[in-house]
């Protein structure tokens, strides 16, 4: 169990983490929020790269703020941006990282590295310098290094950024398999990644946890209240002012706008099928307020 209790982190006048509390157990947990919500700050804090200003974080009852090596010995971490040694091949760099993680048996290292390279579809590029990899290939390499040593806690920050649809699905399948016996925290702003993968999730905004629960439970809060309409772009500001605005998207020259309403807002509005994206915007825009029940583990 990974328990986060009332942690705060400030950078000057910016309150990056504001009284954040979560309990995480083995399985996939999605952390959804826009850029700047505090997700990466929370990830770095859990990875013991920085200390919270206040609050506690415990792993299996041990305070990892005071004892960071307890977390580091069992952690796999894929940050949003990570550096590599410019002249090392993927094979050599993974071997180096494996040694740093304490995998001293050469045969065991080789077997694990080759299996991981196969899983992330880099086996044919194993002797190429990682510095020459494309963005998507480097992201896949990052996944491989995070999984080295069979970590019990896996933290991945925006992991599908730069991946094409095939590689994204391959990676999500890999995470799903790994999530059976690990605590996996998936931080992203891509709603589909959480919807497809995570039985439990939280929405984060302005440094706070603003909703917590299963994706379906968050959708239930807006059931029957989502309405959509195709409008001209010039009408968008008026719609935002008059209604509980969720989101908008361009479609075939028009703009499809979604709002939240207890009853029909008028002619030409059609009741829409509720999605996690609708729920995400409903909470993020303050139209739905979380309840204590949703924060329960």
Query: What pLDDT digit, counting tens, does each position of 130-156 carry?
Result: 888 887 788 888 888 998 988 999 999
Predicted confidence (pLDDT) per residue in 253-274, tens digit: 789 999 999 999 998 999 999 9
User: What percentage of the chain's residues is helix, strand, coil (to nearest 5)?
Assistant: 35, 30, 35
Q: What is the mean pLDDT of residues 63-90?
A: 86
- What is the rounded distance in angstroms from the CA atom of residue 178 to the CA atom of residue 173? 9
**Listed residues 218, 243, 263: the one ending a domain:** 218
Evaluate if residue 119 carries a pLDDT over 90: no
Evaluate if residue 296 carries a pLDDT over 60: no
Answer for the pair 159, 172: CB distance below 8 angstroms, yes or no.
no
Residues 6 or more apart in contact with residue 185 via CB below 8 angstroms: 24, 29, 31, 43, 46, 153, 154, 155, 156
**Listed residues 191, 218, 245: the one ending a domain:** 218
- In this structure, the answer to whether residues 58 and 8 fall within a common structural domain is yes
**Strand pairing class (54-59; 153-157):** unpaired
- In this structure, the answer to whether residues 149 and 47 fall within a common structural domain is yes
- In this structure, the answer to whether residues 261 and 169 fall within a common structural domain is no
Q: What is the mean pLDDT of residues 151-163?
A: 84
Predicted confidence (pLDDT) per residue in 181-226, tens digit: 899 999 888 888 888 889 999 999 999 999 999 999 999 999 999 9
Q: What's residue 110's pLDDT?
A: 94
Q: What's residue 293's pLDDT?
A: 42
Percent above pLDDT 90 for the chain:
65
- In this structure, the answer to whether residues 53 and 95 fall within a common structural domain is yes
CATH of the domain at 95: 3.40.50.300
Q: What's residue 164's pLDDT?
A: 80
Note the pTM of the prediction, 2 decimals. Answer: 0.86
Confidence of residue 291 (pLDDT cuts 50, 70, 90): low
- In this structure, the answer to whether residues 226 and 248 fall within a common structural domain is yes
- In this structure, the answer to whether residues 124 and 158 fall within a common structural domain is yes
Q: Kindly report which listed range (54-68, 177-191, 273-287) carries the lowest average pLDDT score.
A: 177-191
Q: What is the mean pLDDT of residues 57-62?
A: 95
Evaluate if residue 161 carries a pLDDT over 80: no
Q: What's residue 297's pLDDT?
A: 41
Q: What is the mean pLDDT of residues 288-295?
A: 60
Q: What's residue 294's pLDDT?
A: 42
- In this structure, the answer to whether residues 193 and 103 fall within a common structural domain is yes
The total of structural domains in the chain comes to: 2
**Listed residues 218, 246, 268: the one ending a domain:** 218
- What is the rounded distance in angstroms from the CA atom of residue 33 to the CA atom of residue 131? 30
- In this structure, the answer to whether residues 84 and 39 fall within a common structural domain is yes
- In this structure, the answer to whether residues 46 and 85 fall within a common structural domain is yes
Q: What is the mean pLDDT of the chain?
A: 89
Evaluate if residue 295 carries a pLDDT over 60: no
Evaluate if residue 72 carries a pLDDT over 60: yes
- In this structure, the answer to whether residues 116 and 7 fall within a common structural domain is yes
- In this structure, the answer to whether residues 226 and 167 fall within a common structural domain is no
- What is the rounded distance in angstroms from the CA atom of residue 112 to the CA atom of residue 183? 20
Q: What is the mean pLDDT of residues 32-47?
A: 92
Residue 39 belongs to what domain range?
A: 2-218
Q: What is the mean pLDDT of residues 27-52?
A: 93
- In this structure, the answer to whether residues 112 and 259 fall within a common structural domain is no
């Amino acid at each position: 169990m990974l328990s986060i209790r009332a942690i705060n982190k400030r950078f000057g006048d910016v309150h990056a983490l504001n009284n954040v509390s979560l309990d995480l157990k083995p399985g996939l947990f999605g952390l959804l929020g826009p850029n700047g919500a505090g997700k990466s700050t929370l990830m770095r804090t859990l990875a013991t790269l920085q200390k919270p200003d206040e609050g506690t974080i415990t792993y299996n009852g041990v305070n990892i703020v005071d004892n960071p090596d307890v977390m580091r010995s069992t952690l796999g971490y894929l940050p949003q941006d990570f550096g590599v040694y410019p002249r090392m091949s993927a094979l050599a760099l993974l071997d180096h990282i494996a040694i740093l993680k304490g995998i001293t048996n050469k045969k065991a290292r080789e077997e694990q590295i080759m299996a991981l390279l196969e899983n992330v579809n880099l086996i044919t590029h194993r002797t190429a310098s990682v510095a020459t990899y494309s963005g998507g290939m480097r992201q896949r390499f990052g996944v491989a290094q995070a999984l080295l040593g069979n970590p019990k806690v896996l933290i991945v920050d925006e992991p599908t950024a730069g991946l094409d649809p095939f590689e994204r699905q391959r990676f999500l399948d890999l995470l799903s398999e790994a999530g059976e016996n690990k605590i996996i925290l998936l931080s992203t702003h891509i709603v589909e990644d959480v919807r497809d993968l995570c039985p439990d999730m939280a929405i984060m905004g302005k440094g706070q946890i603003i909703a917590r629960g299963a994706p379906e439970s968050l959708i239930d809060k807006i059931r029957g209240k989502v309405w959509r309409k195709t409008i001209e772009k010039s009408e968008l500001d008026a719609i935002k002012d008059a209604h509980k605005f969720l989101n908008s998207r361009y479609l075939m020259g028009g703009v499809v706008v979604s709002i939240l309403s207890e009853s029909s807002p008028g002619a030409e509005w059609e009741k829409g099928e509720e999605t996690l994206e609708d729920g995400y915007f409903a909470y993020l825009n303050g139209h739905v307020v979380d309840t204590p029940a949703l924060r329960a583990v």
